[in-house]
């Protein structure tokens, strides 16, 4: 009986009025660039209802008032709750083949910088690291990978580099053996990315919307995949202008399978499936 009451309490209903929902949409758009619409209403409700319970609040209005109080310390949890973090190892495998070719063609001894600009729980930058290591022979370049995301919770998971076996189950067995340590005892069912790969990746929190971008170096490849879909066109344009400024002249930008940059032909030209080079720096130049 106690358990049922506890469940009823944790499943407590709140009223998400149109006004509250519009406020959520306005705040997350201003802070993270994420555009939500009516189709996301249930998602917003279920993810933020957990925050209301956590903060022991009885209404969305009270939660949003608290959020807008500077000292609430709630902003990061609000953002973490509303991001969508779906990812996987070697998602869109052709990008990693192109990356390996790019690295193999880089002059020997040159250290290359790579950037995973919305890295989520780390599968993407670790896949980049695996591709870089496997493409490398004695004369090939080493790679340093910057991996950033706005969401601090996913970054914690990414830094640990520990994944459930089913996350690596579909990968080539030899690759798993080369790059992962299988857990034993209380860690069985888990696989950890090996230290030499973890050492290649630096995870940092970074909001693509923030006005000052701290990175000064240029990248040989930038993965900015499956994040632009959440942004409106003016936001996408601003981010793509800045990404163009951080790509090496012959560098490659990879974007998500449902994204395209046909609207930014002055900045980028296609060089493969959902892969782009700077305009004027293509194969023929
Ligand atoms: C669907 S995941 C994509 C992960 C990976 N790039 C991939 O394609 O598998 C989108 C990621 O973008 C991040 N994100 C959303 N808004 C962002 C922003 N303004 N700045 C940086 N990252 C953001 C989310 O936290 C989330 O982890």
Q: Give CATH 3.40.50.150 domain extents, the chain.
A: 93-278
Q: Which two tokens stand for residue 42?
A: 């249930």
% of the chain beyond a pLDDT of 90: 85
pTM, whole model, 2 decimals?
0.93
Which of 40, 150, 254 for a ligand 1 pocket mutation test, highest count of atoms within 8 Å of Cβ?
150
Choice between 132 and 285, residue whose per-residue pLDDT is larger: 132
Which atom of ligand 1 lies at the shortest distance from residue 154's CA? 27
Q: Whose CA is nearest to atom 7 of ligand 1?
A: 87
- Confidence class for position 5, pLDDT limits 50, 70, 90: very low
- Assess contact for 37 and 43: CB atoms under 8 A: no
Instruction: Using the predicted structure, report yes or no on whether residue 60 has a pLDDT greater than 80.
Output: yes
- Confidence class for position 87, pLDDT limits 50, 70, 90: very high
- Confidence class for position 283, pLDDT limits 50, 70, 90: low
CB 209 near ligand 1, within 6 Å: yes
| CATH entry, 93-278, from 1.20.120.530, 3.40.50.410, 3.40.50.150, 3.40.710.10 | 3.40.50.150
Residue 225: closest CA among 93, 39, 134, 47: 93
Residue 269: closest CA among 260, 282, 258, 254: 282
Residue in this structure with the two tokens 């001894």, named with its chain if needed? 109
Residue in this structure with the two tokens 């990746």, named with its chain if needed? 201
Choice between 212 and 206, residue whose per-residue pLDDT is larger: 206
Q: Whose CA is nearest to atom 23 of ligand 1?
A: 150
Integer Cα distance of 122 and 191 in angstroms: 13
Residue-wise pLDDT for 130-151, tens only, equals 999 988 765 566 899 999 999 9
CB 171 near ligand 1, within 6 Å: no
Q: Give CATH 1.10.155.10 domain extents, the chain.
A: 2-82
Q: Which two tokens stand for residue 164?
A: 């459930």
The CATH class of the 2-82 domain is mainly alpha
- Confidence class for position 70, pLDDT limits 50, 70, 90: confident
């Amino acid at each position: 009986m106690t358990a049922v009451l506890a469940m009823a309490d944790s499943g407590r209903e709140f009223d998400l009025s149109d006004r509250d929902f519009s406020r959520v949409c306005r705040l997350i758009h201003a802070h993270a660039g994420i555009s939500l619409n009516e189709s996301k209403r249930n998602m917003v409700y279920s993810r933020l209802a957990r925050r209301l319970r956590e903060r022991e609040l009885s209404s969305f209005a009270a939660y949003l008032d608290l959020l807008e109080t500077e000292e609430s310390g709630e902003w990061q949890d609000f953002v973490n709750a509303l991001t969508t973090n779906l990812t996987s190892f070697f998602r869109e495998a052709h990008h990693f083949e192109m990356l390996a070719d790019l690295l193999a063609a880089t002059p020997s001894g040159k250290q290359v910088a790579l950037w995973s600009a919305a890295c989520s729980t780390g599968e993407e930058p670790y896949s980049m690291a695996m591709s870089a290591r496997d493409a490398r022979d004695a004369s090939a370049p080493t790679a340093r990978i910057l991996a950033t995301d706005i969401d601090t919770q996913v970054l914690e998971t990414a830094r640990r580099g520990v994944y459930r076996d089913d996350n690596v189950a579909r990968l080539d067995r030899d690759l798993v053996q080369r790059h992962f340590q299988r857990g034993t005892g209380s860690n069985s069912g888990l696989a950890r990315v090996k230290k030499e790969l973890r050492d290649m990746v630096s995870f940092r929190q970074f909001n693509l919307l923030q006005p000052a971008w701290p990175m000064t170096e240029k990248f040989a490849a930038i993965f900015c995949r499956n994040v632009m879909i959440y942004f409106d066109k003016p936001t996408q344009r601003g981010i793509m202008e800045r990404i163009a400024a951080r790509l090496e002249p012959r560098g490659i930008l990879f974007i998500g399978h449902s994204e395209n940059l046909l609207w930014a032909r002055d900045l980028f030209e296609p060089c493969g499936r959902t892969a782009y080079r700077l305009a004027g720096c293509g194969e023929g130049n």
